[in-house]
Chain A
Amino acid sequence: MSQMNNTTPPKILKRLISLMFPPSSMEEIEGDLNEDFYHNTQNQGHFKARLKYAFDVLMLFRLYFRMRSKNRKPTAMQNLFSFHFKFGLRAIYRQRLHQSINIATLTLGFSCFALIFLFVYNQQQKDNFLTEPERIVRLGNISENGEGSGTVVGIGQLLVDELPEVEAYSLVTSSPAEVKVVGQTEVFEEKIISGLPSLIDIFQLEIVNGTNLSPGLQSVLISQKLSEKLFSNGDAIGKELSIVIRGKESNYTIAGVLKDLPVNSSYSINVFKLIKIREDLYDLNSRVQISYPIYFKVTANANLGQLGEKIPEALKAHTSNESMLSTQYVFRTLDEIKSNINTSDSFVEAVDGQVVYIFSIVGVVILLLAIANYINLSAALSLKRMQEVCVRKVMGASKRTIILQQIVESFIVCFIALALTSIIVWYFVPKIENYLSTSLQIPSGVIWWIILVTLLGLTALTLFSSLYPAILVTRIKFSEFLKGRVAQSPKGKFVRNILLVVQFSISASLIVGTLTFMKQLRFIDRVHNTEVLSEVLIINGKIGKSSDLIRSELNSIPEIEKLSISSMVPGPKDNSRGGIGTNEFAESFDFYTVDENFVEVLGLKIVQGEDFYQEGLDNETHVLMNESMAAMSQENPIGKEFNMGRPKKSKVLGIVRDFPIESVKEKIKPSVYLPRRSDGSTDIMLNKIAIRYKATDLKRTIAQIEAAWRTIYPDQVFDLEFMDDRIKRTYSDELKMGNIFSVFTIIAVLISCLGLFGLITYIVHVRMKEVSIRKILGANFLSLAQLLTKKIWYVLIVASVISFPLAYYLLQFWLESFAYRTEITAEVFMTTLILFMTIVSLTIFLQVKRVTMLNPAEVLRNE
C-alpha cells in the first residue's frame, strides 16, 4: 500500500484536473504531471513531490479559460450566464421605477415573512431544553363554565398513592412580593413561586448549590440570577431574606440556589418557597375546600386519557363530596398548557396558540401577496419589452435563451430583495425582541438549514415567477407584433386579473381584520366601563392597620370626591388567591374585602338588593355577590344565608352587575364582596385605594395625595396610577399584537398599492397614444380615468366577494379566544370597502393625472 502511495499522485487532485479540463486536453497534461511526479519522487522524496504536484495543479488554473474557450461552440445568441447577467442588469436599470417597486414589495414581503417565521419558530421551540416534557402534566377539571386549571388540593397526594403512573405532585401558585436581604435596604420586586419541594423534580430543575426545601423550615430557594443580584460577593446559602407578600413580612433562610432556566423557558422561578395551607384543608372531606393548580410527574408512557378517567373511581373511596365526584378530570400536558391561554395558571406562561396560528397565516399570506404582485408586474413589464424579444428571436435566439434571460433577470431582482431583507431583519430583530420581550433567535445548529432552505426557496421563486412572463413572451409571434396586435392582445390578462384578485382579497381581509381588532378593543373598553373610570386613581400598597388614618387624611383633600379601600381593583393579576369552594355552590369562587364606597367609586351597579350602608352594617355577616355568583344558586339569593368559609353564615345583601376583574378573555369569576370588619382583623388584606377625584388641578391633587401617603407610610413606595392605564396594562399583549397586526396590514396594503401603481403605470403607458388622441378630441380627466381603470373596479368587487366570508370565518376563530366579544357586523365590511376604494382611487388618480397632464403632441410626435 505504501508503495502505491509513493508512486501515485493524490487522488483528489487528479479529480480536480479532470473537472478543470475537457478530456481532450486533460490526457496530455495528466500524463506530463504523472511523469514529473514520478521523477520528483525519485529525486526529492514523496512529500516534496506531492507538494509540487499540488502547486502545479493550482497553477494550471491559468489554462482553464483557454481550454474552455477552445472547446466552446459559438452561437448567434451566446448561452452564457455572464451575458444574461449583463443584459439582465441593463434591463433592470432601464426599468428602474418598476423594478424598484418590485424589489421594494418583495423586500417587504420577505421581511414580514422572515420576522413572523422567527416568532413562530421560537414559540415552537419553547422548552426544548426539557428532556422529558411529556412527563409534566397538570390536572384540570371540565365543568359547564369551561375548563379550570385549579383542583382541590387534597387530590394531589391521593393520586400519587392510588395511581402507579403518577410519581409526584406539587401545588403551585405565585404572588408578587418585595424581597430584600435582612439588614440591607435595597428592595427587589420579585414573583414568588410557592409549592411543594417535589416541584423541583417535576419541572426538572437543578439545584446547583445547597439542598431542596424541607417541610417545617422557613427556607427558600433562589435562582443564580437573583443570587448574583442580591449577594454580589458569592455565597448565598444560609443567608436570610425578608419577603413581603401582601403586606405580610416574614424572614426566610436560603437553602439552595437553582440553576437559571434558559430564556426560551415558558416558566420562570426566581424565589421558591413552600406553600402554606392549613393541614385540615388537605382533607377531602373537610367542609371547606380550596383549589390550586396541581402539577404531576407521570411515568414516561402514561396514557393521560385513561389516567384521567380513573380519578373519580379513586376518589370514591375517600370522599363523599358530590361536586368533587361529579367533576370530569383531565390531565393536560405542558404543550397544551402553554398554548391555551384560557386555562393558564400563574406559573407556566401561556401564549395564545391562536395568535401564533393567525400570525403564521398572516406571514404566509403576505409572502404570497408579494409574490403574486411580483409575478404580475414582471409579466406586464416583459410585455413592454416585446420589441427586444422579437429582435432577439429574429437574430436566432431560441425559446430557451429567452426564458433563461427572464430567469436570470428575475434572479437578480429576487436576490437584491433577499439581501435587503437580511439587512432589515438584522436591524429589526433586536427591536422586536425588546418590544415583545421574547427571544427571536435561531440556534446555530439550524441556521445552515435555514440558509439552505432560503436559497432553495429563492431558486423556486425565481423559476416560478419568471416562467409565467417568459412563456407569455415567447408565445408571441413576431409577425403579430409587427402588425401591432400585441399591446391589445388578451394574452395574460386573465392570469393578471386573477393575481390582482388574490392581492386585493388578501389586503381586504387584513383591513377587515384590523378593523375588527379595533372594534374588539373598543368593546373591551365598554365592558370595563373605562369612561366612568377615567377619573379614578389607584394607589397600590400595604394599607393594613392604618386604613382609617389614610382615609381621613385623604378625605381632607378637597378635590377628592370619594375613596374606597379594598383588597382588589380591576387590572392585571397582582392579587392571586386560590379560590374557595363550599358544598353550597357548584364552583369555587373568589372573595374580596371592600368597603361601603367600593361600588360607587368604581362605577359599579347594584342590579338587585342594596349596597353596603355604613349605619347598622353587620360586618360579620353581610356580603355582596356578583351576577355570576348569583347564577350559581338555584333561587334568588338576596337575603339568604350561605356558608362562605367564615365563622358565621353570610347574608347576601345585594347583587352587583358582573364586571371583569382581569382580562375579558376569561369568564368573569363568581365573586363575593365582604365588608371590612370593624375589629380590623381583615385589614391585612387591604392593598388598594381607589380615589375618585375632580379634575381641577390634577398635579396639585396628586402632590397632596403623595404627601398624605408619605406621612402615613414613610417606608413604602408611592405607587399611583390611573385606572384606565391600569386596565390597558391588562391588555398589553393584545395591544401589542394589535399594533403588530396593524403594521402588517399597512405593509400588505402598501404592497398591493405599489403593485397596483406599477400595473396602472404599465396600462397607461401601453395606451398612451390612445389617451393622447382622446384628449385631443376633447376627453376630460374623469372619462379618461374611467376608461383606464374600469376593470380594476370589477376586480375589487370580485376580491371583496371572495375575501369577506374568509375574513369573517378567520376572525370569528380569533374572537373565540375572548369570553366576551364583539360582533363582526356589515359595518366593518362597508368601512373596509370604502377605505380600500379610497386608497385604490388615490393610487389610480396619481398615475392617471400624470398622463393626462402630458402634452398629447409630445406623445404623438414620437412616431
Chain B
Amino acid sequence: MKKTGVGEFEEMVLLTICVLDNSAYAFSIKTEVEARTNRKLNISAIHTTLYRMEDKGLLTSEMGESNSIRGGKRKRMFSVTPFGIKSLSEIKVTRSKLWEDIPAMILKDLKS
C-alpha cells in the first residue's frame, strides 16, 4: 500500500484545521500557524499544501461566505476527512510509541 506520506508542515496544517474547526480557510490557517509556531509563512505555500492534501484525500472543502476585505470573494472552507484524522492519529501513535521506548536516562536532561 502507498504510504500516507504526511510531511511535517502538512501535519501542522492538518492539526491547525482541526483546531480551527469550522473556520479553517487559507488565510485563517496561515495566521494560526504563524501565531503558534512563531514563523513567517507565505499564503501561496498554504495554498499549495492545502490543494495537495485535498488531492491525497486528507481534506475536503466547500465554498463558504465572503466579506468586504476579500473583495466579495468567497472563502474555501477546509475540513479534515476521516482518512485525514486516521493519518494524524497514526502519526501520533507512532510518535508516542517512540517516546515511550526512549530510555529514561536520555530524558533526564529534558525534565530538569
Please name the residue on chain A nearest to B43 by beta carbon: A36
Report the Cα distance A27→B74, complex, angstroms: 6
A818 close to B (CB within 8 Å): no
Q: Which of A7-36 contact B (CB under 8 A)?
A: 27-36
Q: A28 touching B75 by the CB < 8 A rule?
A: yes
Q: B71 touching A36 by the CB < 8 A rule?
A: no
Answer whether A31 and B74 are a contact pair too, CB < 8 Å, given A36-B30, A38-B69, A66-B51. yes
Please name the residue on chain B nearest to A30 by beta carbon: B73
Q: B residues within 8 A CB of A31?
A: 66, 70-71, 73-75
Q: A34 touching B71 by the CB < 8 A rule?
A: yes
Q: A residues within 8 A CB of B44?
A: 55-60, 62
B19 close to A (CB within 8 Å): no
User: What are some 5 contacts across the A-B interface (CB < 8 A)?
Assistant: A28-B26, A31-B74, A35-B69, A36-B27, A58-B44
B42 close to A (CB within 8 Å): yes
A259 close to B (CB within 8 Å): no
Q: B73 touching A28 by the CB < 8 A rule?
A: yes
> Interface digits, B8-47 against A, CB 8 Å rule (1 contact, 0 not)?
0000000000000000011100110000000000111101
Q: B69 touching A34 by the CB < 8 A rule?
A: yes
Q: B residues within 8 A CB of A38?
A: 69
Q: B residues within 8 A CB of A55?
A: 42, 44
Q: A residues within 8 A CB of B25?
A: 28, 32
Answer whether A27 and B42 are a contact pair too, CB < 8 Å, given A36-B27, A59-B48. no
Contact of A63 among B43, B48, B63 (CB under 8 A): B48
Report the Cα distance A58→B45, complex, angstroms: 11
Answer whether A30 and B26 are a contact pair too, CB < 8 Å, given A60-B47, A63-B51, A66-B51. no
Q: B residues within 8 A CB of A62?
A: 44, 48
Q: B42 touching A52 by the CB < 8 A rule?
A: yes
Q: How far is the CB of B88 from chain A (nearest CB, A)?
A: 23
Q: A28 touching B71 by the CB < 8 A rule?
A: no
Total B residues in contact with A, Cβ cutoff 8 Å: 22
B residues sitting closer than 8 Å to A (CB atoms) are 25-27, 30-31, 42-45, 47-48, 51, 55, 63, 66, 69-71, 73-76
Report the Cα distance A36→B45, complex, angstroms: 13
Q: A residues within 8 A CB of B27?
A: 32, 35-36, 39
Please name the residue on chain B nearest to A61 by beta carbon: B44
Report the Cα distance A31→B48, complex, angstroms: 15
A residues sitting closer than 8 Å to B (CB atoms) are 27-36, 38-39, 52, 55-60, 62-63, 66
Please name the residue on chain A nearest to B77 by beta carbon: A28
Report the Cα distance A33→B74, complex, angstroms: 12
Q: A30 touching B71 by the CB < 8 A rule?
A: yes
Which 7 A-B residue pairs are closest in the complex by CB-CB distance?
A31-B73, A59-B44, A28-B76, A31-B70, A56-B44, A32-B26, A36-B43
Please name the residue on chain B nearest to A66 by beta carbon: B51
Q: Name 19 extra pairs, CB < 8 A, besides A52-B42, A58-B44, A60-B47.
A: A27-B74, A28-B73, A29-B47, A31-B70, A31-B74, A31-B75, A32-B47, A32-B75, A33-B43, A34-B70, A35-B70, A39-B31, A55-B42, A56-B43, A59-B44, A60-B44, A60-B48, A62-B48, A66-B51
Report the Cα distance A58→B74, complex, angstroms: 22
Q: A residues within 8 A CB of B74?
A: 27-28, 31
Q: A34 touching B30 by the CB < 8 A rule?
A: no
Q: How far is the CB of A814 from chain B (nearest CB, A)?
A: 69
Report the Cα distance A52→B43, complex, angstroms: 9
Q: A residues within 8 A CB of B76?
A: 28
Report the Cα distance A63→B45, complex, angstroms: 10
Please name the residue on chain A nearest to B45 by beta carbon: A59
Q: How far is the CB of B75 from chain A (nearest CB, A)?
A: 6
Report the Cα distance A27→B45, complex, angstroms: 17
Q: B residues within 8 A CB of A28?
A: 25-26, 63, 73-76
Q: How far is the CB of A189 from chain B (nearest CB, A)?
A: 73
Q: How far is the CB of A56 from chain B (nearest CB, A)?
A: 4
